[in-house]
Structure 1
């Protein structure tokens, strides 16, 4: 038996859990950076003299650089080892965070965010791949539930942490804080994450190029459409030509994956597993909603209510607290209850909460109403992030861990990119429809000042109307999870590792 073969054997659970916690520290950090910028948007606008759409690109550039290479980085982890790819990505992410904080121009900030996105793309697939390979299948649900809970909580905590840092130290510190955290995460991952067996892969560079070009054209077209009045950008390049071109290139990517008989970037056979396919569609809508939600909420809280960044972030505290409290229950149920039941409840709770939020949002909305709405969102979040991640990968064999993780995280990031782009377009459109043109000089970008009453009401209407997009998108996810089938581990267990006696987690229902 070779050393690599020994490494492939699942370690005892006491060794697997510390490794997972070590990976989750870095994973939490990169996901916080997906939403942390939203609360700093007014401060960045004021300090760097940027427009709303430019600042939205601070997030969109990160998400785009995160989403495009995540397919190939999953395969790179299989070839060179998930631990090695994770550590390289963590190093790049940490250095790019330092560059973000030191920049003095919006262009420099966007460029540094692109580097951050590449680092995040190296890290994320490795976390799911390691879970799949070091935990036996009957423990995988609980482990993946922790991974999903980290993803959900990070998305919610970002605005809160960002608000505290912007208020106390300045917007630059939403990036500087990553440096010490990155160092700690590196040391822990180096010591606790095992080295796993590697597999040789041929890389589908044509697939990488097609997916990258297609996604860039599509997102850029959506993002910039309102700015160019959905018309000409320059010369023969128009918004609609970019969008249509992106769709065509992505269609060519899918065709190439089907025709490639060597080793496609996305093995379409993965989608033969119905639960994998459904989970990918569902997580796209969830990621879309959570990424898009922060922009109108943070603008409303700071520019209408006059909250400081910290106060604006704390508006979301009930959602984060409830999500953290409910995550252990969701994790236990994931190994026992049909995923259709869990995720239907999650989508219903989240969709209803967002719909109610858009209806009650006003310049003088009572805080108790917001607490109730965001608490319901926290419940929905807990029963979506973890169960969807678990269900997506539960039936996949270990040698498909890298590919499956890459695809799942790519679709999750695609949802985030499209959510960021779509909400920017909709906010611009609704502001114009309500007779407004946003300007940083209207209200105090740093918090403590509010828009005048005659502007606050139509501005709030624009934010509330833009939020209606999110429950509409979530309906697609709700319909998708209706097609979940019973996971294989719920039935007879053929694998020898699955013959262990039932533990405290209990047998599958």
Structure 2
């Protein structure tokens, strides 16, 4: 009896098609990348709270403790464009998962290593993992969301980023106070495992559809070396002095290597970072505004926390709770900013956000050593609104103006500027505070009732006062102790006023620059259509394989 062959291809094709449709769901992709983003951004802010406990437990010096942060920051900044390029070429889903796995493994290693040298080393490796992970979050979104929905997706991405950064001090404070410092790193394990499993199930692979290309190894070396030297100079500028030979040499070397990198890239058929991207003035301006936005956000959070904890005496948890208005404002502002950008264009929303941040900074000029909370929360709300509006607008300006094939690289550029802006914010603003403290400390101490001779001796404690710490000792008479606390606190507030003035002015200048150089909606739409036609790909369509 003849047998009849059974064709299983139709059911197999139908099942495969169903899986592909499931994995092409952009909102599931957004949920998946939000887990990874939450892990990285939360880690960045909780570690700042854990540093004092790490120093006490491992017997670390101040310089070693600084490298717990600096090694991570430098590795993160140096690897982001590379991470985006790897995702664009070999698979954004693949490298996103690799980054998550690396971040989880290094987090566990940091908690177990038991030495400050080990913590510093694994923090650098954690930064490399973050540099692979972060740019592929936006690269994935750029590939799966159509243009009309991309701004909203970036707004939610920005909301997750801003809120997780702001909640870090609260979560970190609770863990350090009630568990131990290692727990702030172990926290990444459950988040990372959920991210790995969920992302493996829901994310579709996307990468460039071009043929075999030579990988730009020399470009990788030049870019990484330039960024390492530049960020190293920035983070050491405050301790070495901005005019010191070491700082100037590091900054000059970094800039020189980046110039060489740029010239080299223009001569490559398959460059690591295509210089043609910078022909789009909106993209270039968006990159600069990203730097400024995180200069404001991370620099502002840094000196606000010094004020709340060291001048006002708040615990880390109390300080974190006090800044909740900033987090809540960011929560609402990021999706709002994306919708405003869709309707009005980034030429309107970036200046609007920067002016709000500037208003928040200028609002802190009313702060004193004993300000009521009623004077604090309005600036927090203004800064949260401003940063939250600018973040999705600049991300959409950078990544939305890049071809889909360069989505990961553009995301890496955005993330790199974000990290450099944060490093500049903390380093530059603490230098501004230190300068004002140094010039006003003696006068504030004597004005508070400290004898001139004692005040001269206390000027040597300028570094402590710059961090908001009064140089008092247990053997001081109560009246003198109170005078030193009052004078030191006022000197720090003088420095804070100088820092917020500088930041506010930069926000106003940035708003004016964005209004001039970011393209209007009609011009941007024409450019994006021309760009898509030249590339032979409709903007916002997945290049899936």
Q: Give the TM-score, by structure 2 length.
A: 0.80
Distance (Å, rounded) in 1 between the aligned partners of 2:116 and 2:508: 36
- Equivalent residue in structure 2 for 1:263, among 262, 266, 270: 270
Distance (Å, rounded) in 2 between the aligned partners of 1:141 and 1:321: 20
1:1-40 CA distances to partner (integer Å, 9 max, x unpaired)?
A: xx9xx99x99589821011111111112112223333334
Q: 1:28 to 1:201 in 2, by over 3 A?
A: farther
By relative contact order (CA 8 Å, sep 6+), the higher-ranking structure is 1
Unaligned runs of 5+ in 2: 1-12, 442-458, 472-481, 541-545
Distance (Å, rounded) in 2 between the aligned partners of 1:39 and 1:290: 17
Distance (Å, rounded) in 2 between the aligned partners of 1:176 and 1:424: 30
CA contact (8 A) 2:299 2:426 kept: yes
1:38-91 CA distances to partner (integer Å, 9 max, x unpaired)?
A: 334444444445455544433332221111111111111122211110111111
- Equivalent residue in structure 1 for 2:463, among 412, 437, 455: 437
Q: 1:397 to 1:305 in 2, by over 3 A?
A: same
Q: 1:313 to 1:464 in 2, by over 3 A?
A: farther
CA contact (8 A) 2:230 2:250 kept: yes
- Equivalent residue in structure 2 for 1:395, among 391, 401, 420: 401
58-67 or 450-459, which moves further after superposition? 450-459
Which residue of 1 is the match for residue 450 of structure 2?
A: none
Distance (Å, rounded) in 1 between the aligned partners of 2:372 and 2:128: 41
- Equivalent residue in structure 1 for 2:76, among 66, 91, 103: 66
Which residue of 2 is the match for residue 486 of structure 1?
A: 520
CA contact (8 A) 1:68 1:211 kept: yes
Which residue of 2 is the match for residue 504 of structure 1?
A: none
Unaligned runs of 5+ in 1: 445-449, 500-509
Which residue of 2 is the match for residue 419 of structure 1?
A: 425
Q: 1:78 to 1:455 in 2, by over 3 A?
A: same
Which residue of 1 is the match for residue 235 of structure 2?
A: 223
Distance (Å, rounded) in 2 between the aligned partners of 1:315 and 1:210: 43
CA contact (8 A) 1:224 1:425 kept: no
Which residue of 2 is the match for residue 211 of structure 1?
A: 223
Q: 1:267 to 1:229 in 2, by over 3 A?
A: closer
- Equivalent residue in structure 1 for 2:36, among 15, 26, 44: 26
- Equivalent residue in structure 2 for 1:312, among 315, 319, 322: 319
Which residue of 2 is the match for residue 167 of structure 1?
A: 177
Q: 1:21 to 1:479 in 2, by over 3 A?
A: same
Distance (Å, rounded) in 2 between the aligned partners of 1:441 and 1:109: 27
Distance (Å, rounded) in 1 between the aligned partners of 2:429 and 2:117: 21
Q: 1:321 to 1:195 in 2, by over 3 A?
A: same
1:246-257 matches, cutoff 5 A: 246-257=254-265
Aligned residue pair count: 483
CA contact (8 A) 2:238 2:427 kept: no
Which residue of 2 is the match for residue 179 of structure 1?
A: 189
CA contact (8 A) 1:35 1:291 kept: no
Aligned: 1:99 with 2:109: yes
CA contact (8 A) 2:74 2:232 kept: no
Distance (Å, rounded) in 1 between the aligned partners of 2:356 and 2:193: 38
Question: SS at 2:344's partner residue?
Answer: coil
Which residue of 2 is the match for residue 457 of structure 1?
A: 490
CA contact (8 A) 1:392 1:408 kept: yes
Distance (Å, rounded) in 1 between the aligned partners of 2:528 and 2:289: 27
Question: SS at 1:399's partner residue?
Answer: helix
483-492 or 126-135, which moves further after superposition? 483-492
315-324 or 159-168, which moves further after superposition? 159-168
- Equivalent residue in structure 2 for 1:345, among 352, 355, 374: 352
Distance (Å, rounded) in 1 between the aligned partners of 2:67 and 2:301: 14
Which residue of 2 is the match for residue 111 of structure 1?
A: 121
Q: When you count helix as a share of all residues, which structure comes out higher?
A: 2
Q: 1:45 to 1:456 in 2, by over 3 A?
A: farther
Aligned: 1:470 with 2:503: yes
1:143-185 CA distances to partner (integer Å, 9 max, x unpaired)?
A: 1221222222233222232223223223332222111111111
- Equivalent residue in structure 1 for 2:94, among 79, 84, 94: 84
Question: SS at 1:383's partner residue?
Answer: helix
Question: SS at 1:365's partner residue?
Answer: coil
Which residue of 2 is the match for residue 240 of structure 1?
A: 248
CA contact (8 A) 2:150 2:396 kept: yes
466-475 or 93-102, which moves further after superposition? 466-475
Which residue of 2 is the match for residue 371 of structure 1?
A: 377
Question: SS at 2:463's partner residue?
Answer: coil
Q: 1:223 to 1:53 in 2, by over 3 A?
A: farther
Distance (Å, rounded) in 1 between the aligned partners of 2:505 and 2:120: 30
Q: Give the TM-score, by structure 1 length.
A: 0.85
Q: How much has 1:252 moved relative to structure 2?
A: 1.7
Which residue of 1 is the match for residue 329 of structure 2?
A: 322
Distance (Å, rounded) in 2 between the aligned partners of 1:42 and 1:273: 44
